[in-house]
Amino acid sequence: MTEGRILVTGATGRHGGVGGFAARQLKARGAPVRALVHSRDDRAEALERLGIETAVGDMQNIASLRAAMAGVDRVLFCYPIKDGFFEAAAATSLAAKQEGVRAFAEISLIPAEPDSPSIEAREHWLASHILSWAGVNPIHILGGFFYQNLGVLAGEDFIARSEMLMPFGDGENPLAWVSAEDVARFAVATLLNPEPYVNNIHYVTGPELLSLRQIAAQISEVLGRQINYSAKISMKDWIARVASHPIATPRMLQHVGVLAVGVGQKKASFGRVTDAVLKATGQQPETFRSFFRANSKEFVTHAKAEKELARG
């Protein structure tokens, strides 16, 4: 099913980047893709230069959503961790229903549960039911911890400090990690052939569970020098550091605080390894080691910038 357009929300987002990866992958596959953007800024213009159609709209405004969905029969719904998620999910699903959308893939998260202390997780769980009630053939995609967000959690300068400083306890709890690019690849596969995936929950992870100490060990191997994990930071100081990141929001701070308590104090393990990416795409998901090796220059750049600031 490739005749109708695919609408991607969050294609200019910075949290993980699933929407942007998916829009580009769909374009590369020859699918007619339209990106919903908040404004025609530099990020929207970058998509347009790739030949991706854009539509300016507001995910909490039914009229603009319906206009963006004209001629669309599949939707990929991505929304950052910030206030307004539930309203956006409800409005987008209603617009999709009114416009006769035939499949609606949503990017959710593994901890989405009705009794989670995370507001974000609870609203994702509620939104999944709204989508089911709307009858838009939802595809629920629950991803693991994004490799791309390591700098948010460990601090963008952790290479300069040679230390991943996070209040996540002893760092031994196994966690399900995944590349946002692999989540996008899975979403693209389901949108190009939705029938086997609709009305089901899909857990999308990388190929292995990794503790934070194992993450630090793999980074050390790639860089050829020791990077340690340490929990010697208070929750208050850590939250303040996360808050300084450009993509941080009050909702995100509440969410990551819950994760830190769950992993560090309650010794919770999040997720399990699945073969969802392999089955849907025919390709193995990227390992963390491979991801960090390919992106290590970006992390080292942050480290150099931190040293320059310290000298200044």
Q: 41 pLDDT band (50/70/90 cuts)?
A: confident
Domains of the chain, residue spans: 5-146+179-204
Condensed to tens digits (0 to 9), the pLDDT of residues 71-113 reads 999 999 999 999 999 999 999 999 999 999 999 999 999 989 9
Q: Which residue has the tokens 């908040």?
A: 38
Condensed to tens digits (0 to 9), the pLDDT of residues 239-287 reads 999 999 989 999 999 999 999 999 988 887 777 899 999 999 999 999 9
C-alpha torsion sign, points 103, 108, 113, 114: negative
- Residue 301: predicted pLDDT: 63
What is each CA distance from 122 to 101, 132, 239, 257, in whole angstroms?
A: 25, 16, 21, 15
Q: Which DSSP string corresponds to 240-251?
A: HHHHTSTT--HH
- Residue 16: predicted pLDDT: 66
Give dist(CA 172, CA 169) in Å, integer: 8
The one-letter code for the residue type at 67 is A
Give dist(CA 156, CA 151) in Å, integer: 4
Q: Reduced to 3 states, what is the DSSP secondary structure of residue 76?
A: strand
Q: Greatest CA separation found in the chain?
A: 59
Q: Which CATH number fits domain 5-146+179-204: 2.40.30.10, 3.30.365.10, 3.40.50.720, 3.90.400.10?
A: 3.40.50.720
Q: How many C-beta atoms lie closer than 10 Å to residue 284's C-beta?
A: 13
- Residue 15: predicted pLDDT: 66
- Residue 129: predicted pLDDT: 94
- Residue 40: predicted pLDDT: 83
- Residue 35 exposure: Cα atoms within 13 Å on the Cβ side: 32
pTM score, whole prediction: 0.93
